[in-house]
Amino acid sequence: MPKMGYNNYHMDIHTNIPLKNYTTMKLGGPARFMTEVRTSEEVAEVYRNAKTQKLPIFVIGGGSNVIAKDEGFSGIIVRMRIPGFEIVADDINSTTIKVGAGEEWDSVVKRAVDMRLSGIEAMSAIPGTAGATPIQNVGAYGQEIADTLQSVEAYDSREDRLVTLTNDDCRFAYRHSIFRDESIGRYVITSITLKLSKNLPTPPFYDALQKYLDENNIQIFTQEIIRNAVIAIRSTKLPDPQISPNTGSFFKNTIVENWQLDALRAINPDIPLFEMGDGRYKVPAGWLIEQTGLKGQLLHGMRVYDKNALVLINESATSYNDLLAARDEIIGQVRDKFRIQIEQEPLTI
Helices (H), ranges, the chain: 40-53, 105-114, 207-215, 223-237, 261-267, 285-291, 320-338
**Active site (annotated) includes residue 345:** yes
Which entry of 111, 175, 180, 234 is annotated as an active-site residue? Answer: 175
Give 160: exposed, middle or buried? Use CB within 10 Å, 0-12, 13-18, 19+: exposed
* Binding characters for ligand NAP, 265-284, by CB under 6 A (x = yes): ---------x-------x-x
Instruction: Kindly list the strands in the beta sheet with 94-100, ordered across the sheet, starting from the edge strand earlier in the chain.
Output: 85-90, 94-100, 187-197, 149-156, 161-166
At residue 93's C-alpha, the angle toward residues 154 and 129, to 5°, is: 30
We find the least distance from the C-beta atom of residue 235 to ligand NAP, in angstroms, to be 12
Contact present, 289 and 331 (Cβ < 8 Å): no
Closer residue to ligand NAP (CB): 33 or 251 = 251
139 binds ligand NAP (CB under 6 A): yes
DSSP 37-55: E-SHHHHHHHHHHHHHHT-
The strand pair at 30-37 and 73-80 is best described as parallel
We find the least distance from the C-beta atom of residue 343 to ligand NAP, in angstroms, to be 12
We find the least distance from the C-beta atom of residue 293 to ligand NAP, in angstroms, to be 19
**Active site (annotated) includes residue 249:** yes
We find the least distance from the C-beta atom of residue 174 to ligand NAP, in angstroms, to be 7
Contact present, 147 and 138 (Cβ < 8 Å): no
Closer residue to ligand NAP (CB): 45 or 106 = 106
**Active site (annotated) includes residue 343:** no
Closer residue to ligand NAP (CB): 131 or 139 = 139
286 binds ligand NAP (CB under 6 A): yes
Cα gap 3→15, rounded to integer Å: 9
140 binds ligand NAP (CB under 6 A): yes
We find the least distance from the C-beta atom of residue 19 to ligand NAP, in angstroms, to be 21
Dihedral-angle region of residue 19 (phi above 0 means left; psi in -120 to 50 means alpha; beta otherwise): alpha
237 binds ligand NAP (CB under 6 A): yes
305 binds ligand NAP (CB under 6 A): no
Contact present, 66 and 349 (Cβ < 8 Å): yes
Among the residue ranges 33-41, 135-143, 193-201, 218-226, the one whose residues contact ligand NAP (CB under 6 A): 135-143
**Binder among 44, 138, 170, 178 for ligand NAP (CB under 6 A):** 138
We find the least distance from the C-beta atom of residue 321 to ligand NAP, in angstroms, to be 25
Question: HSE-up of 112 (CA within 13 Å, CB side)?
Answer: 36
208 binds ligand NAP (CB under 6 A): yes
Cα gap 110→103, rounded to integer Å: 12
75 binds ligand NAP (CB under 6 A): no
Dihedral-angle region of residue 270 (phi above 0 means left; psi in -120 to 50 means alpha; beta otherwise): alpha
57 binds ligand NAP (CB under 6 A): no
For the annotated catalytic residues, the residue numbers are 175, 249, 345
User: Can you give the binding site for ligand NAP, defined by CB under 6 A?
Assistant: 136, 138-141, 175, 207-208, 237, 248-249, 253, 274, 282, 284, 286, 310, 345
